[in-house]
Amino acid sequence: MSVYLELNQVNKTINGESIVKNVSIGVDSGQYAILTGPSGSGKSSVLRMASGIDKPDNGDVLIDNINLSNIHIKDKKRIIAKYVGLVLQHPGLDRGLDVWSNIILPAESKGEKINKDKVDYLVDLLEIKDKIYLNSGKLSGGEQIRVSIVRALAVNTIRLFLADEPTNHLDTERKKIIFNYIAKITKEFNIAALIVTHDSVFARENANIEYTMIDGEITKKNLFFQN
């Protein structure tokens, strides 16, 4: 395995408050990592920097050894669109469109090609195949999350999967299901995955590594050896 995502001593200040302090994180290809900690500890800010949405005040964010801080904004956007799949706290589906359109349109709008075989496999794996032409407004919360996961991974070149609290507002059984899906996808497609979550008990059942944040700092790193 090789380190695909690396955050090296990143810092972020928002409205004069230091939100992220000298955080370093590494996630290998084929590795499923979780970032845990209390609300307000800076987890989502770290994920936003990892995804290229936000830029650190200082420190480095590297994707496949490419330092996002050292390249032109146009090149950064191209790399993010091609190699990074992102799921935010709210799925953000267009309720006026069916599931299939919600999956393919974001990628096509960025000029990226959808791998239909991969999408067919994922909708079958995530058990939403029978919903593919259903209006997205009729989906349950768990189904919406699963659609957003497929959408994030639909481009064949995706090598990094990032998710911010993907199990928020789901019941216990659905939380377990979502984390199991993420672990399986990470392994099968040999992608790097970093998941921000409060649901550490369920998330760590399949995780390879856990980073814990408190007050903007990484306070603990646990390694798990999953089969």
Neighbouring residues of 81: CB distance < 8 A, sequence distance ≥ 6 = 107, 110, 111, 112, 155
> pLDDT digit string (tens) for 162-218?
999 998 878 888 899 999 999 999 999 999 999 999 988 889 998 999 999 999 999
In 3D, which of 173, 154, 162 has the Cα closest to residue 197? Answer: 162
Cα 144 to Cα 130: distance, rounded to the nearest angstrom: 13
Beta carbons of 49 and 10 less than 8 angstroms apart: yes
Predicted confidence at residue 3, as pLDDT, reads 79
Q: CA-to-CA distance for 207 and 34, rounded, in angstroms?
A: 7
CB atoms closer than 10 angstroms to residue 188: 12
Residue in the structure block whose two tokens are 């799925």: 91
pLDDT at 225: 67
Q: Helix, strand or coil for residue 107?
A: helix
Is residue 51 classed as helix, strand or coil in its secondary structure? coil
CA dist., res. 182 & res. 152, Å (int): 12
pTM of the model: 0.93
Give pLDDT, residue 107.
86
Domain boundaries, the chain: 3-223
CA separation for the pair 217, 200 (Å, rounded)? 17
Question: Top-level CATH class of 3-223?
Answer: alpha beta
pLDDT in tens, the chain (227 residues): 567 999 999 999 999 999 999 999 999 999 999 999 999 999 999 999 999 999 999 999 999 999 998 999 999 999 999 999 999 888 889 999 999 999 998 888 888 888 899 999 999 999 999 999 999 999 998 899 999 999 999 998 999 999 999 988 788 888 999 999 999 999 999 999 999 999 888 899 989 999 999 999 999 888 886 55
